[in-house]
Amino acid sequence: MKLNIVMKKALRLVLLLLGVSAAAFFLVSISPIDPLQTNIGQAALGSMTEEQIETLRQYWGVDVPAGERFLYWLSDAVRGDFGTSLLYRRPVMEVIGEKAGYSLGLMTFAWIISGVVGFLLGVISGACKERLPDRFITGGALFLSGTPAFWIALVFLTVFAVELGWFPVGLAVPMGVPADQVTLWDKLYHACLPALTLSVTGISNIALHTREKMVQVMESDYVLFARARGEDPRSVVLRHGLRNVILPAMTLQLGSISEILGGSVLVEQVFSYPGLGQAAVTAGLGGDVPLLLGITILSAILVFAGNLAADLLYSVVDPRMKKGGEPR
Amino acid sequence: MSEQNLNTLLKIRDLSIDFLQYERGLRRRITHPVSHLNLDVEAGQMVAIVGASGSGKSLLAHAVLGILPYNAVMTGTMEFDGQELTKKRIETLRGTEICLVPQGVSWLDPLMKVGSQVKDRSALACYGLGPEVDQMYPFELSGGMARRVLLATATSRTPRLVIADEPTPGLPLDRARRALSHLRDMAEDGAGVLLITHDVELALEVSDRIAVMHEGTVVENALAGDFPYPQRLNHPYAKALSRALPQNEFFGGGAI
Ligand SMILES: Nc1ncnc2c1ncn2[C@@H]1O[C@H](COP(=O)(O)OP(=O)(O)OP(=O)(O)O)[C@@H](O)[C@H]1O
Ligand SMILES: [Mg+2]
């Protein structure tokens, strides 16, 4: 029974990864970008001999049909070999490992901060329905949700980095400092502003959803009854409110990893932060198919894991699901 | 039971509850589910409120406990123990001196164990619920168990006023009788009990008075002893209820 579910989920993941990588491959293959022109340049190409150009065409796989290339890639990938990045000239996994170090930290921070802050704001807002704190929070969240992430990133960059000078303008480490002299503090300092930006863009979703749920809970019969039993508003929110909104909020946040990922691409671009998002953009524009596919696969796995965790959460935490299968 | 010298515990005068609703944009609509309602409950007495579904019985109960929905507007006066029952005062009294037995299991927090929602756990035993119920979640209760848990939430204290909103549906007759006799005992101990019910017959067995609610107001307030005799009642709706009692079936009556 349990094994059956695991098998099903595993099958789903395999199908998902196949579909996603095929789609990514197809999209790159119909892209009008010529990798030679983009990466080597018109002028350089003009000064090369036919043989040189032919070698390059082979390197970038320009003449091999897309379907064939995909099958080559796939047969290697299932054996765990994701190929070599054409742009970085290093194994894809190595490049991803390095970039992910930056990005995952950024995203984890943003995911937790936006989750916690958004949840708390949503609870406060819902508990004070239509009073001042609620109007304030809802207004702010609606404003944020209607604002593109890159615009927020630009505003933060202008205000906090350029005008106020509190944070560096970009990059993940100080410029001109040898790699072995970069301290952890340097890295954190550079990650601050991108991470904050990414957090802010994630807050409104969770805050608004939590507020809706909280309003429902506060109008529920069991909250009325709690009040009728003499519980004061604070105890009602803490004892019954939190208990009943935390599960939906966690589910939502686990399911919104894709949004954080999407946001990180834009934010990394604005802050010239050398993470996965930026690598994905470079790989896409430069026709570096192996790298792009590697990043795509990693993202798909992250999103899948988030959704899976959301599914499992209920069966592990919610007493109705946990005991549901057992006899009374 | 003499009517005199009884001290009036709950006194409701001219109670009206209006709902402000918005339909299609800004068109305001006001409904009046409860209007100009008068009711007294004396200490040591059990008053049954009977009436059709939607006649406003639950709203009356919620008004006394101060848990009306936020879009409700309440007018009129309520007195508890001779003093006005203001919003502030309700907040200090509910849960201790005024207790509610709610209408259904949805009134229990679905994610909280039953034991934590019943202040005095020993009260569960009074209703024949074993110690294992303490650790159960509301979804694990059968309909009848849920009823008894709800009853236990109120009877676990020694309130001066108990408002029980349809505490018996779903219980077999003997259990229903036993539940009502628990409430009756509380009245014997000096509490005022307001029993909201559809079951006129059972109400007659335990109550001192029957108040008939019809379209949001109390149209008849009769001694339990008078209620089976339609000729002793004034309002046509109350007469119809009386005629529908099994012992009056002979006269042929309307349904409730
Ligand atoms: N929140 C609300 N908004 C608008 N109307 C409401 C609201 N709550 C109740 N009403 C209306 O008030 C009327 C009385 O409701 P109430 O729940 O008091 O009925 P009741 O006599 O307890 O019925 P039942 O025997 O079915 O429990 C109903 O017509 C209902 O539609
Ligand atoms: Mg009701």
Q: Are residues A151 and A212 in the same domain?
A: yes
| Band (B228; pLDDT cuts 50, 70, 90) | very high
Q: Are residues A53 and A131 in the same domain?
A: no
| pLDDT greater than 80 at residue B84 | yes
Q: Are residues A42 and A158 in the same domain?
A: no
Q: At what angle do helices A242-255 and A92-127 cross, to 10 degrees?
A: 150
Distance of CA A234 to the CA centre of its chain: 35
CATH number at residue B165: 3.40.50.300
* Residue at A316 is within a domain: no
- Distance, in Å, from the CA atom of A106 to the CA atom of A88, rounded to the nearest integer, reads 22
Residue A193 near residue A271 (C-beta atoms within 8 A): yes
| Band (B91; pLDDT cuts 50, 70, 90) | very high
* Residue at B5 is within a domain: no
* pTM assigned to the model: 0.84
Write out chain A residues lying below 8 Å of B91, CB-based: 230, 232
* Complex ipTM tops 0.90: no
Q: Are residues A122 and A12 in the same domain?
A: no
* Residue at B165 is within a domain: yes
Q: From its phi and psi, is residue A237 left (phi > 0), alpha (psi between -120 and 50) or beta?
A: alpha
Q: How many CB atoms lie within 10 A of CB B112?
A: 18
Last-in-domain residue among A21, A49, A78: A78
* B195 contact A CB<8A: no
Q: Are residues A146 and A13 in the same domain?
A: no
**Mutate which: B92, B99, B111, vs A, most A CBs within 10 A:** B111
Instruction: Name the residue among B196, B187, B190, B139 with its Cα closest to residue B163.
Output: B196
Please give the residue range of the domain that contains residue A36: 2-78
Phi, psi dihedrals of residue B17, rounded to the nearest 5°: -125, 120
* Residue at B128 is within a domain: no
- Distance, in Å, from the CA atom of B204 to the CA atom of A97, rounded to the nearest integer, reads 79
Enumerate residues 88 to 147 of chain B having a beta carbon within 8 A of any beta carbon in chain A. Answer: 91, 94-96, 99-100, 102, 104, 106-112, 117, 119, 137, 139-140
Q: What is the pLDDT of residues A191-231, one digit of tens each?
A: 888 889 999 988 999 999 999 999 999 999 999 999 999 89
Mark yes or no for CB contact A222/B100 under 8 Å: no
**Mutate which: A213, A217, A224, A237, vs B, most B CBs within 10 A:** A224
* Residue at A298 is within a domain: no
Signed CA dihedral, B112, B114, B118, B120: sign only: negative
Q: What is the pLDDT of residues B158-204, one digit of tens each?
A: 889 999 999 988 888 998 998 899 899 999 999 999 999 999 999 99
* Residue at A160 is within a domain: yes
Q: What is the pLDDT of residues A263-300, one digit of tens each?
A: 888 888 888 888 898 898 888 888 788 898 899 999 99
| pLDDT greater than 60 at residue B4 | no
Please give the tally of structural domains in chain B.
1
Write out chain A residues lying below 8 Å of B160, CB-based: none
| pLDDT greater than 80 at residue A322 | no
Residue ranges near ligand 2 (ion) with Cβ within 5 Å:
B 58
Q: Are residues A175 and A41 in the same domain?
A: no
Q: From its phi and psi, is residue A299 left (phi > 0), alpha (psi between -120 and 50) or beta?
A: alpha
Please give the tally of structural domains in chain A.
2
pLDDT at A323: 61
* Residue at A292 is within a domain: no
* Residue at B54 is within a domain: yes
* Residue at A301 is within a domain: no
* Residue at A85 is within a domain: no
CATH number at residue A264: 1.10.3720.10
Q: Are residues A214 and A259 in the same domain?
A: yes
Q: Are residues A7 and A63 in the same domain?
A: yes
Please give the residue range of the domain that contains residue B188: 41-61+87-97+159-248
User: Beta strands of B24-176 (E only): which ranges?
Assistant: 27-42, 46-51, 72-80, 83-84, 98-101, 161-165
Q: Are residues A112 and A249 in the same domain?
A: yes
- Distance, in Å, from the CA atom of B202 to the CA atom of B183, rounded to the nearest integer, reads 13
